[in-house]
A and B are shown apart, each in its own frame.
Chain A
């Protein structure tokens, strides 16, 4: 299973998202879908970079596999417990002056991926994003693994 590990730092963002984009291309996903997969992964990674390791540096790893016409992306860190599924949805109907940006990244992840599963495995956060090859984007998601 192709896998990449690096320090959870902003400077590594593009290397990590490019790895995922390449795997999605190998899986013959259309270009537009590949961009959205990159987006979902970026949002997860930025959360990890910002919150997982408040006092030190730590790693993040991404593994990709294709099974039954689905791209399965597993993202792991050993930082503080964090479940992206529990981030409240932003108010996407708010006016400009009231509009807050918080929660938009997590909202994108749930909106774009066909399934999102989170589990805490010993000292690790394990987030699994699943993208069906042929699906349209949906807002459905499940909690738990």
Chain B
């Protein structure tokens, strides 16, 4: 898994996540994002265009991040989900609790 801060756009902290978010890699993902939140980045867009796989461990991390941001009036938007990942979001109902956009451009308008 790769996690990259791809810049900041209109106050939104952009993070691209690539590869596989499973029970082994999800804790690392969660820690990186929480570190960024601790350093003051409370409006985050996750670009998942190159995320190929996510399991319940990855969803758990995303839920932790979403709850953390909500607790401090921040925001989390996901964008560009691959079909396989989108399906897991739909099965779990996560698409109804976390905003999901088709592209990073749309995500910028959302927040």
Q: Which residues of A contact B (CB under 8 A)?
A: 10-11, 13-14, 17, 32, 35-36, 38-39, 42-43, 46, 49, 90, 92-97, 99, 101, 104-105, 107-108, 111
B59 at the interface (CB under 8 A from A): yes
Query: Contacting A39 at CB < 8 Å: which of B53, B93, B96?
Result: B53
Pairs of residues from A and B, 6 with the lowest C-beta to C-beta distance, nearest first: A92-B93, A105-B56, A104-B56, A96-B97, A101-B60, A46-B23
B106 near A: Cβ within 8 Å?
no
- Which residue of chain B has its CB nearest to the CB of A112? B91
Number of A-B contacts (CB under 8 A): 68
Q: Given the complex, which residues of B lie within 8 Å of A11, measured CB to CB? A: 24
Residue ranges of B at the interface with A (Cβ–Cβ < 8 Å): 22-24, 52-53, 55-57, 59-60, 63, 66-67, 70, 83-84, 88, 91-93, 96-98
A96 surroundings in chain B (CB, below 8 A): 63, 66-67, 70, 97-98
A36-B23 contact in complex given A43-B56, A96-B66, A108-B91, C-beta closer than 8 Å: no
In Å, the complex CA distance between A23 and B51 comes to: 23
Given contacts A97-B67, A101-B59, A107-B91, 5 further A-B contacts (CB under 8 A): A39-B55, A96-B98, A101-B56, A104-B56, A108-B91
Residue contact A35 to B84, C-beta cutoff 8 Å: yes
Q: Which B residues touch A90, using CB under 8 A?
A: 92
Contact of B96 among A10, A49, A93 (CB under 8 A): A93
